[in-house]
Amino acid sequence: MPSVVFVILAGISDDEARWAQLDQPPLNERTGRKEWTQGSAKRIVGQKVSHPVTATEKVKAIHDMATDEQVAAPGGHRPVAPPGGRLPGDGR
């Protein structure tokens, strides 16, 4: 088990609950085995995962990118004009 799992699961404040959780690793869909990964530990404590797997995680990741000013395209509020055309009401 990666040591980072212990660090992440330290977010579970109740010692008994934390150790009980450690004894029950989640199923890794990719390998088909019950094992701890950094992502599975983050899911347990509600942290953002590095590699989204579920549909909800993927939608959240896309939303986060779209609202991040470093990633989002500048001027994203203006619709793209058709090739060689103008948008209705465009005074250009």
What integer pLDDT is reported at residue 47 of this predicted model?
Answer: 85
Q: Give the span between the Cα atoms of 5 and 37, in whole angstroms.
A: 7
What integer pLDDT is reported at residue 55 of this predicted model?
Answer: 83
What integer pLDDT is reported at residue 33 of this predicted model?
Answer: 92
What integer pLDDT is reported at residue 63 of this predicted model?
Answer: 82
Closest by CA to 38, choosing from 79, 5, 87, 3, is 5
What integer pLDDT is reported at residue 34 of this predicted model?
Answer: 93
Mean pLDDT, the chain cut into blocks of 10 residues (92 residues total)? 86 89 87 89 85 83 77 60 64 58
Q: Could you state, in order of their start, the residue ranges of all structural domains in the chain? A: 3-67
Instruction: Answer for the pair 25, 19: CB distance below 8 angstroms, yes or no.
Output: no
